[in-house]
A and B are shown apart, each in its own frame.
Chain A
Amino acid sequence: MTPTYYLLLSALLFAIGAVGVLVRRNAIVVFMCIELMLNSVNLSLVTFARINGELDGQVMAFFVMVVAAAEVVVGLAIIMAIFRARRSASVDDTNLLKY
């Protein structure tokens, strides 16, 4: 095998995450699908770093992790706020900007 297999794996998982974002209706699960997409991109970045024999890709994956952590905090807080207002975490119920 070659390191290319890792890239194929990450492409497949990215597609799975994208389909999950489109299909699932629970906002938290949609958020988890986004996390899966971020993770698969991380895998490809690490693989690129390994193919090039450099560490730059790993640094970028590290930054992606930091941004993902910040994003999780804000996103989950927003989901909690919406849940408090609407008593529902479904993306179908959130069809108004207010209330």
Chain B
Amino acid sequence: MTSFSQAAVVLAQQGGEDVVGTGEAIAFWVLGPLALAGGLGMIFVRNAVHSALWLVVSMLSFGVLYIVQSAPFLGFTQIIVYTGAVMMLFLFVLMMAGRDSADSMVEVLRGQRLLAALFGIGFATLLVGALARSLVNVQAQVPPDPYDPARGGGAGGLGRLVFTDFLFAFELTAALLIVAALAGIVLAYRDRREGPKRSQRDLVEARFRGEYKRRSPQPGPGVFATGNSVATPALLPDGSIAPESLSELIESTNTARLIAEQDRVLGSQAEHDDSRALLAGEDEQGSEQEGERK
């Protein structure tokens, strides 16, 4: 704590720099504690959704602090990207995955919270003390006017820097974004087909409860010596075609030919030895006749 007070004293001694105006000081003393409260609230609130809302408070304060520090582009980007997009993404995932996951009070590692708190206090003291001591004689330059792109401030100056000095980093960023988008797709993809597989018994029960039209399985296609394609119709014991063995798709695409073959199989126009026919065809004559007809 001594370093905090030292820092306050040191900073108070050098106060009155001309760069920081009164308005900015007021904005800082309003928004700084707000940002701190947001951070602390995020840590201490047990409900995850409330944590996200506290973080939103913190991030909005950050955005306004950027704007105050003559970085309006970053400030608005902060508000749009972080509080607009990223935090909404967080809330979205929270509603799906972590809505009922208030943190348990059980410590898996004994004394971890105490040690973490000690670490945090020590770290903050060290950092604040070092910063306050090392940055005593800071002479803040007048920043480029953010609303005068011609003199290199604001979004215009940022854009010029991004496309000149930082061009390679910018291109790496493009690659990074593409990879991240692909990774999001790959990692979040879920195969919808997976699920508990139905056992044979489940299927039988479902059939007899009327989930399917037939209780027995569908008849398969007919299998003959020269043809076992799906298009070959199955025959019933009396030699007629089993209508359910006909594939709807094939029927709809090749109707005319199949009807002729069905007639032939049925015996109405049995003309030659067809491998698909059960009834014996007559002879070559029939096929010639058929050829003439075609």
Contact = CB atoms under 8 A, between A and B. Distances in A.
A21 to B, nearest CB: 9
A9 B187 CA distance: 36
B248 interface: no
Contact of A11 (B128, B144, B165): B128
A15 B123 contact: yes
Given A2-B14, A18-B120, A77-B188, A51 B93 contact: no
Interface in A1-28: 1-9, 11-20, 22-28
Given A2-B17, A16-B120, A36-B58, A8 B43 contact: no
B97 A79 contact: yes
Best-surrounded residue of A12, A47, A78, A81 (most CB of chain B within 10 A):
A12
Contacts of A16: 36, 39-40, 42-43, 120, 124
A8 B180 contact: no
Contact of B131 (A8, A19, A51): A8
B207 to A, nearest CB: 32
Interface stretch (B71-79, B218-226, B230-238, B283-291): B71-79
B138 A90 contact: no
Nearest to B166: A59
Contacts of A77: 183-184, 187-188
Contact of B161 (A33, A51, A59, A76): A59
Contacts of A27: 98
Nearest to A20: B43
A80 B108 contact: no
B176 A33 contact: no
Contacts of B204: none
Interface in B68-113: 69-71, 73-74, 77-78, 81-82, 85-86, 89-90, 93-94, 96-98, 101, 103-104, 108, 112-113
Interface stretch (B48-56, B195-203, B256-264, B270-278): B48-56
Contacts of A43: 62, 65-66
A78 B78 CA distance: 24
Nearest to A66: B173
A96 interface: no
Contact of B55 (A32, A59, A92): A32
Contacts of B193: none
Contact of A73 (B69, B121, B173, B183): B183
B89 A89 contact: no
Given A2-B15, A16-B36, A55 B157 contact: yes
Contacts of A31: 90
Given A32-B52, A42-B78, 20 more contacts: A1-B17, A2-B14, A9-B32, A22-B112, A23-B113, A25-B104, A26-B101, A28-B97, A29-B42, A42-B66, A42-B74, A55-B161, A58-B71, A62-B77, A65-B77, A72-B89, A73-B89, A77-B188, A80-B188, A89-B97
Interface of A: 1-9, 11-20, 22-29, 31-33, 35-36, 39, 42-43, 46-47, 49-56, 58-59, 61-63, 65-74, 76-81, 83-84, 88-90, 92
18 contacts: A2-B19, A14-B127, A24-B43, A32-B90, A42-B62, A43-B65, A46-B65, A46-B66, A50-B140, A50-B143, A53-B143, A61-B71, A62-B74, A63-B170, A65-B82, A72-B90, A83-B98, A89-B98
